[in-house]
Structures are given as C-alpha cells and as structure tokens.
Chain A
Amino acid sequence: MASDPKSRLDLYALSFRLPILVWQALFFVGPLAFMLAMSFFDVKNYRMVETFELKAWERMLTRGYVWDSYFLTLGRAALAALVASLVAFPAAWLLAFRASETQRRWAIFLLVIPFFTSYLVRTFSWLVILAESGVVNAGLGAFGLGPYTMLNTGFGTLVGYLTLVLPLVLILQTVTLAHIDPRLPAAARNLGCPPGRVIWEVVLPLAKTGLVVAALFAFILSFGDFVAPYYLGGSKPPTLPILIIDTTKSGQQWPRAAVVAVMMMLTLFAIAFASIAFAYRKRASK
C-alpha cells in the first residue's frame, strides 16, 4: 500500500512515455528488424523469397566496390561534419558572445528559414549557381579566373552536404555557446590568456557536448544523404545511399540493399555511441 503514490506516479509518467515508445517500436525497431531479416532473403525472378541465406551478405561483403563506396561515404560525411563545424563556429561565437539577445533570436529564426524550402529544391538551385556557365564562374570570370568545374565533383557534393547541415550545426553551436557564462572566457582574458587558448581551454571544454552533438548530426545527415552526391556529385563515385538505389533499381536486389543499409546503421550506431561517450566523458569526471 505504501507504494501506491509511487505506482500512480509511474502510471502517470508512463502515459506520457508510452506513445513515443509505441511509435519507436512500430516505426523504427520494427522496420529495422524487418530490414535485418530482409538481408537474409533471396530474390528469384525479381521477387523476394523469404528464406534464411547468407548470399546477399557474402555477395556484398566480397565486392571491392562496396567497400570503396563505404570508405568514400565515411570520409565525405566526416569531412562535411568537420567543415560544417569549423565554418559554423566563428558565426556561433559571434551570435553567442557578441550579439544581443534580440539579434540572436532573429539570427536563429533566419537560420530556420532554409528548412522551409525542400532540400531537393535548394540542391537544384546549386546546379545553376555552380555550373561552368553559372553565377560563381561568371563572378570569377570578371577577375579573369576560371571557369572551374564544381558540379559533379567531390566539392559539389560537399556544398550539397553543407546546404543540408550547416544551418542546423550553426543553431546547435549557437545555443550551446550561449549557455556558457560569458564571464568565464572574459575572466580568462583578464588573467592574460591569449584568445586562442581561451577558445581551446575554456570555451571548447565547456561546449564540448553541444559541439560534438552538432558534428554528429552533420555526420549522420551527410552519411545517409542521397541528393547531394547524386545531383551535385554526379554519382561519381557513388556513395552508399546511391549504391542502395542502384541495387534496388536494377534486379530488385532488396536483400543486397538491406545489407548495405544494415552496414550503414551499424556504422552510425558505433559512431553515435562513441561520440556521445566522448562528449560526456570528461564532463562526468569533472
């Protein structure tokens, strides 16, 4: 009887938690399990046959091009996360420490605006901007430079990834830095600490969790993105999401596509866990 209030509390809490648990079970865990099961299926005459075979795994894991795609995707997503973090940081610093509360609010509102437009539409607009006869090259041409090939290159893909992730990284970094007591970096400066060291030894440790989470989001979104490497990178060479499309498009090899998808999920899980562990480790020890 004494546990009555506690159990009431549990039920109350559960009523809020249950919908999200049910949702996740239905639309995340369920499809994930099905995808894993599908990777052991077979395809005969363009139809999937429910069986338990390792054919798709053997096939995909022994193909050199799959591993080439894997490491390429990993590298490009990591690069996007790094570049987005570095590019966003100075702007986030300004918004967090130099801008007024109103200016910061407006900046965050403006950073949300790009999400009002479809990512695909934003990507297609880059086609016009980055083309050899496009806006950037026309500008460079005025100074006697170029034209440079930017579309259908790794650079094009990176621009696409940044279009997707940069506003998000900037918002996350700004919110993180804004929560740091501004007196701390100011105190460090007053005590004679040079600016670089203030960033490295005061701001970064305090903002580590938020910065890592922002970079992690950038990595996750880039790693799974199909649009940028296909339309701005010219599918040359294909990243894992393109490989999934290719595999399903031709021959309807859903089990092989599932293998690639499982590889991607495992990679994301590993990187996400490692990143979160890294982000919180030092803080916990403090």
Chain B
Amino acid sequence: MTQRNKAAPFAATRRQALKLGGAVALSAPFVGRAWASTTEINMLAWYGHGEPDIVGAFEEANNVKFVPKYYAGGDNMLGLIAQSPPGTYDVILSDAEFVQQLDAAGYIEPLDAADYPLDDMLYPDFQKFPGHWSDDTLMSMMVRFGHLGVSYNTTAVSAEEAESYACFWKPELKGKVGHFDWHLPTLGQMSLYNGNGAGLWDLDDAAWAKVQETTMSLRPQVGGFFDFGGTFNGLKNGEMLAMVGIGDWITGILEKDGAPVASVIPKEGGIQWTESYCIGKGSEKADLVKTFIQYMLSPEGQVKSAQMAAYPGNIVTKGGFELLGEVDPKEAARTHQLPGDPMNPITLIDTGRIHYRDIPRQQSLEDWNDFWSEYKNA
C-alpha cells in the first residue's frame, strides 16, 4: 500500500511530463515560426535609445525587436565594438567625434546620402557634419544634439553667476561641485574657461599643462564623480549644487519634474554633444536599420527624440522643429527650440558660442584619461 501510494504520484508526474514533452515537441515549429517572424536588431547606444518610448512604435510597425547594449562615453563604445565579432551590432549610435575612428577601424558601413533628409537639416553644418563623411561618402547620420555648459541648482547659484565657469570655484560650493565621470566634457570645459575658444581641443604642451592646472585647482570644490544615475541623483537630492561636464540632457529631466536646476551656456562658450546613427559593418539587417534611421529623422522620430524619457536631445530637422512646436510647445519653449528665441540652440552655434565636442588633437585620449585618474585621486 505504501509502495503503491509512493509510486502513484511518480506515475502521474511521468505521464504529465510525457504530455508536456509531447506538447512542447508539437508546438515547437509554431513557436519557432512565431519567433522567426520578429527580427531582432542589435543596438549599441547611450542609455535610453532602445527603450519603448523611442523604438516602441517602430518595433510594432515593422515587427522588429531592438536588443540594446548601452555604454557611457565614446571610448567605452569603441572598446565594446573592438571586442565583438563583426556584425554583432546592427545599429550603432555614436558620439560624432568617434565616427571617424569607427570608420578608420572599419566598424561601420557607408550610407547612401540620398536615403536621408539632408536638405531638411536645420543648420548647414549638420548636412556635412565634421567627421561624418569619408570624402564624398556619408558614414554616419546625425540624429540629435545638445549643449554642455554650467548646470546648477538655482537656489545656490544665481543666473548671473552661472554665466561663467568661474562659478564652480565659488567658496559656498565647496564639496558641492560634482563631475560627470568622463574626462572629455570636463577637460573641454576647463579648456574653454582658460580662453582657448574654438581651439579648445587643439592644445599645445603649455596650454595642456594650463588646463591640467586649472582643473586641479577645482579639485577641493569637488564632491564626487558620478555616472548617469549618480549625477541625476546628486542634483535631485541637492547633494551637488553644480555639475561640471553636463547640460540640459540631465537637468532637463529634473527641471520637468520641478527640481530647481538649470543649465546655461556660459560666456566662455559651451560644448555640443552630437549623436549620430551608423550601420554596423557586416549587419545582415542593414535595410531595416536604414528604415529605422529614416524614421528617427522623420518629424515624428525627431519629436520622440526631443521628448526622450532618458535624456532630451535637440531636433536636427526643420520638419521635426515645426512639429515639436505644434505638439509640445511647452518642451519647445523650455529648450528654446522656437523661431526667434535668442537662446535657440542653432543661434548659439551660429554666434560661435558653441563648439563641437572633439577628441584631443595633440594628446592622446590615454593622456587625458591618465590625467583624469590622477585628478580623481588628488
């Protein structure tokens, strides 16, 4: 009796297992077909670009699924690609200054310029953006941009003070100045503060030494070095009252939530981050990726980019600019993306207050990174 009782549940389990196994075996071809009909697109991008608010509608319309791998910083991106087999990433969102390196290393496919709305770009530079063309071949398509300047807590720093990077040295901010943990934007801003203007990336030994000296003098003010989440949190909870190396791409989200933070372009000038899409070398889904890039440059895609949940970016096409004003005038006004606004991002570029982010011209990225490590340890 005991034996039967023990055996019974086992038999039932075995029968159930057989039934389940049979069902799985029978349904496998259907499951396989269902999966096969959704194409996966591997994306390498900054955080947020593969999230539903950006790609959801495109995924639904084209029966695709984005599989994003996120990075922070261009050299981080290059490293990830270098360590992956060719064809791993179908679409790559690159910071503009790294496109040339992607091209030189053979990591991206050439694009057909006729496929993209170059004539609709808001600013002439955007049509032939530096580093995006290899002779007459388009290698990458600019999709959004933003400006880096002084980001600050409006209760601790006045708008007048924020007009210069000098506000970071304000005695009251001791221990309250944060850094976005990437050498390029911070050292670029220090170079601008030193008066290097348009030559901010092209520093000879003396100018580079001076940038290091200026940066080191800021160290006693520094309260921490943060990643994306930490930067966000530091500003939100008031632990950091000013932040070096960022702009509206972080404060914009907080500002929309009602936090007393803002970003401005100081008189010494600001830096432009530019994000561009490339098609990964060896991608078997190049046509789909092309359609996706076209979608992101359409007025609808551009508005989605401007409203991106992770971090906002400015619009690059005239069509997108017009549509944003119609569908989200509040965001258009907040980001000065309105015709005639004196702080319009395009006006800032046009009047020479903005410099495109680049990589150091006379030093290697390694030199800058080495100094960054020293600075963090100082």
Contact = CB atoms under 8 A, between A and B. Distances in A.
Interface of A: 45-48, 63-65, 68-69, 127-128, 131-134, 149, 151-152, 230-231, 233-238, 243, 246-253
A253 B76 CA distance: 11
Contact of A250 (B75, B82, B105, B377): B75
Interface string B163-183: 000000000000100100111
Nearest to B75: A250
Contacts of B182: 250
A118 to B, nearest CB: 15
B365 A127 contact: no
B230 interface: yes
Given A236-B225, A238-B377, A243-B373, A249 B76 contact: yes
A252 B222 contact: no
Contacts of A236: 222-225, 376
Given A132-B238, A134-B237, A252-B82, A235 B222 contact: no
B223 A250 contact: no
Interface in B349-371: 365-366, 369-370
Given A45-B82, A149-B175, A238-B376, A249 B75 contact: yes
Contacts of A46: 75, 78-79, 81-82, 105
B183 to A, nearest CB: 7
Which among A47, A63, A236 has the highest number of chain B CB atoms within 10 Å? A236
Contact of A152 (B82, B223, B366, B369): B223
Contacts of A233: 224
A236 to B, nearest CB: 5
Given A250-B372, A252-B78, A235 B226 contact: yes
A69 B181 CA distance: 17
A230 B366 CA distance: 22
A151 B221 CA distance: 15
A63 B89 CA distance: 36
Given A149-B175, A250-B73, A250-B183, A234 B226 contact: yes
Contacts of B78: 46, 252
B20 to A, nearest CB: 30
A13 B175 CA distance: 60
The 6 lowest CB-CB distance pairs between A and B, nearest first, are A234-B224, A252-B79, A65-B377, A152-B224, A46-B82, A250-B369
A104 to B, nearest CB: 38
10 contacts: A68-B377, A133-B237, A151-B239, A152-B223, A233-B224, A238-B373, A247-B373, A250-B73, A251-B366, A253-B366
Contact of B373 (A133, A149, A246, A252): A246
Contacts of B370: 63
B373 A132 contact: no
B237 A235 contact: no
Contact of A237 (B76, B105, B377): B377
A149 to B, nearest CB: 6
B233 interface: yes
Contacts of A69: 377
Interface residues of B, number: 37
Given A46-B78, A65-B378, A252-B79, 10 more contacts: A45-B105, A46-B75, A46-B82, A132-B238, A152-B234, A235-B225, A236-B376, A249-B76, A250-B365, A252-B82
Contacts of B2: none
Contacts of A152: 175, 223-224, 234, 239
Contact of B83 (A47, A132, A134): A47
A234 B366 contact: no
Nearest to B230: A231
B238 A133 contact: yes
Contacts of B237: 127-128, 131-134
Nearest to A65: B377
A236 B237 CA distance: 18
A248 to B, nearest CB: 7
A91 B156 CA distance: 44
Interface in B201-245: 222-227, 230, 233-234, 237-239
Nearest to B79: A252
B374 interface: yes
Contacts of B81: 46
A250 B76 contact: yes
Contacts of B378: 65, 237
B7 to A, nearest CB: 30
A254 to B, nearest CB: 9
A237 B75 contact: no
A270 B183 CA distance: 35
Nearest to A247: B373
A151 B226 CA distance: 12
B372 to A, nearest CB: 7
A251 B369 contact: yes
A245 to B, nearest CB: 9
A47 B73 contact: no
A138 B370 CA distance: 40
A65 B79 contact: no
A64 B374 contact: yes
Contacts of B226: 234-235
A45 B365 CA distance: 11
A128 to B, nearest CB: 8
A235 B227 CA distance: 10
B239 A251 contact: no
B231 to A, nearest CB: 11
Which of the listed residues A48, A152, A238 has the most CB atoms from chain B within 10 Å of its own CB?
A: A152
Contacts of B376: 65, 235-238, 246
Contacts of A133: 237-238
A252 B234 CA distance: 27
Contacts of A251: 75, 79, 365-366, 369
